């Protein structure tokens, strides 16, 4: 008899659609990723799933990191899932160790998925992670897209799509499942270090907020994220409509014609600030679709781009990643 969470997992993810594709599962050895691996394996034969695993050894916790790798290798061998492990060399930047490690990990996972021919990269983020992410972004300052939290699907490259099959599952459900099937997992000691901002939020701030303000804080944050996501999808659809009217690829870049009559007709009913917002979303859309660097693009940079679209003044600017944008003869040229 199947565990209820296995049934819920199959229902939530429509596993029949996965059968034609190879799936790479990121497995750290922690409870969440181990549960994700076990859940996929539970349905492997029924749906003919082609499963692979990958483990990134960040080499930051000495013997503990090596122990995680050994655990994942043994677990995957017992489940007959091919596993690729790599000891990462983390390039340090001003972004901080957490961001640098995450970048190295995603590079490894994406590269491995492409090498193995995996269409999907499955990661084990769950609902508790989603609530934490949304609150963290609120505290740092974010817009509607940040409020939406993590998406269940996200294109990484032309060949690989990231998917989060556990995003609607709680951490408690995951732990109950592992206990029920008798599956051990590893515990990362660094998860309990309050020197890290995300850990302080999870271990100190969120319990305090649940106690003093809202006992169902997580559900409230996830609900907010869902509403923000709906709004973002609507706004993106409008930005895409605008792009269809005035954007065309030219050589190694794009040409935007903001003064076309059909563009004016589409935007003229909007108040000035709403029109500025729509142009900002258009440029965000173009940056995403063309793989342009967004990490150092702040509100000031997006506002500058929107101003170029709305203002007839001829100007030229260079944006992060050496993306050159100029307005000339009523047209905007983006070179990358």
Contact 254, 248 (CB under 8 A): yes
What is the reported pLDDT for 93?
Answer: 85
Computed on alpha carbons and rounded to an integer, the radius of gyration of the chain in Å comes to: 23
Count of CB atoms within 10 A of residue 288's CB? 13
Report, as ranges of residue numbers, the positions in the chain whose pLDDT lies below 70.
none
What is the reported pLDDT for 276?
Answer: 95
Location of each CATH 3.30.465.60 domain in the chain: 226-335
Beta-sheet pairing, 161-163 with 153-155: antiparallel
What is the reported pLDDT for 167?
Answer: 97
List % helix, strand, coil for the chain (3-state, nearest 5).
55, 15, 30
Residue 14: partners with Cβ closer than 8 Å, 6 or more residues away: none
Residues 254 and 248: their CA atoms lie apart, in Å, by 6
What is the reported pLDDT for 82?
Answer: 98
State phi, psi for 4 to the nearest 5 degrees. Answer: -55, -30
What is the reported pLDDT for 1?
Answer: 84
Residues 221 and 214: their CA atoms lie apart, in Å, by 11
- Could you read off the pLDDT of 183-227 as tens digits, one per residue? 999 999 888 888 888 999 999 999 999 999 999 999 999 999 999
Helix or strand holding residue 25 (H, E) = strand 22-26
Pick from 145, 150, 147, 176: which is nearest to 38 by CA? 176
Arch. (CATH architecture) of 226-335: 2-Layer Sandwich (3.30)
- Rounded mean pLDDT of the chain? 94
Which of 3.40.50.2300, 3.40.50.720, 3.40.50.620, 3.30.930.10 is the CATH number of 4-212?
3.40.50.620
């Amino acid at each position: 008899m199947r565990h209820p969470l296995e049934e819920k997992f199959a229902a939530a993810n429509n596993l029949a659609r996965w059968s034609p594709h190879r799936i790479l599962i990121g497995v750290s050895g922690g409870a969440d990723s181990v549960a994700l691996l076990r859940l996929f394996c539970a349905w492997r034969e029924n749906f003919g799933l082609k499963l692979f695993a990958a483990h990134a050894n960040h080499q930051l916790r000495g013997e503990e990191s090596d122990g995680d790798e050994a655990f994942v290798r043994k677990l995957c061998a017992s489940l007959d899932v091919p596993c690729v492990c790599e000891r990462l060399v983390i390039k340090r930047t001003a972004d901080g160790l957490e961001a640098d490690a995450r970048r190295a990990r995603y590079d490894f996972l994406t590269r491995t998925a492409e090498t193995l021919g995996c269409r999907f990269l499955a990661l084990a983020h769950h609902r508790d992670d989603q609530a934490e992410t949304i609150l963290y972004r609120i505290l740092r300052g974010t817009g509607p897209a940040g409020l939406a939290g993590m998406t269940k699907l996200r294109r990484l490259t032309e060949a690989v799509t990231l998917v989060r099959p556990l995003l609607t599952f709680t951490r408690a459900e995951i732990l109950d499942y592992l206990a029920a099937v008798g599956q051990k997992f590893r515990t990362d000691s660094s998860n309990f270090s309050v020197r890290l901002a995300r850990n302080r939020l999870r271990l100190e701030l969120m319990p305090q907020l649940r106690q003093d303000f809202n006992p169902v804080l997580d559900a409230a944050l996830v609900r907010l994220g869902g509403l923000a996501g709906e709004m973002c999808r609507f706004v993106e659809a409008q930005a895409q409509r605008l792009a269809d009217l005035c954007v065309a690829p030219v050589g190694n870049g794009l040409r935007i014609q903001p003064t076309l009559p059909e563009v004016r007709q589409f935007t003229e009913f909007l108040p000035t600030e709403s029109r500025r917002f729509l142009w900002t979303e258009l440029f965000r859309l173009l940056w995403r679709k063309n793989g342009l660097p967004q990490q150092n693009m702040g509100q000031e940079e997006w506002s500058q781009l929107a101003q170029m679209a709305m203002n007839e003044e001829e100007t030229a600017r260079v944006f992060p990643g050496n993306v050159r944008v100029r307005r000339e003869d009523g047209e905007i040229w983006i070179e990358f």
